[in-house]
A = this chain, B = another copy of it.
Amino acid sequence: MKLQEQWIVGFVDGEGCFHVGISKHPDMRVGHQVLPEFTVVQHKRDVQILHALKAYFGCGVVRSNHDDRMAFRVRGQDNLLRRIVPFFMEHPLKSGKRLDFLKFRRVLLMMESGDHLTADGLEKIRRLAAQMNRGRSR
């Protein structure tokens, strides 16, 4: 399945999610790990779309999610900063999800500078993460 750029933007405006998880991690200097991820979830009957997204972006994994649902998931600063972020900078989202994306990008740029390894930086990232994905059904 060949995907066109604007189709991807429309589909992600509908089904995509930019999320920054923060979890306790005793091995990290600040005691927490920051885990940004981009996901698209679909019913398993449309799993070929998730594989097409994975092929298009050249990164990420397709895994089962809850129940009959599958997810395309991209983690890792390098994949996110070099492949996902540039795509959505070049092809802007049209929905309010664009604001989530811009916060997501800001977190990634902060992480690139190592801000997530300081208590101050982690607090800033925590505030940005809390502002994301509000008023959404998922």
Residues of A within 8 A of B (CB): 1, 3-15, 42-43, 45-46, 49, 52, 68-69, 94-96, 135-137
Contact = CB atoms under 8 A, between A and B. Distances in A.
A75 B137 CA distance: 26
B43 A136 contact: yes
Q: How many copies does the complex hold?
A: 2
A87 to B, nearest CB: 13
A49 B46 CA distance: 24
Contacts of A12: 10
A8 to B, nearest CB: 6
19 contacts: A1-B94, A4-B6, A6-B7, A7-B10, A7-B13, A7-B94, A9-B10, A11-B11, A11-B14, A13-B14, A13-B49, A42-B95, A43-B135, A43-B137, A45-B96, A45-B135, A46-B95, A49-B95, A52-B94
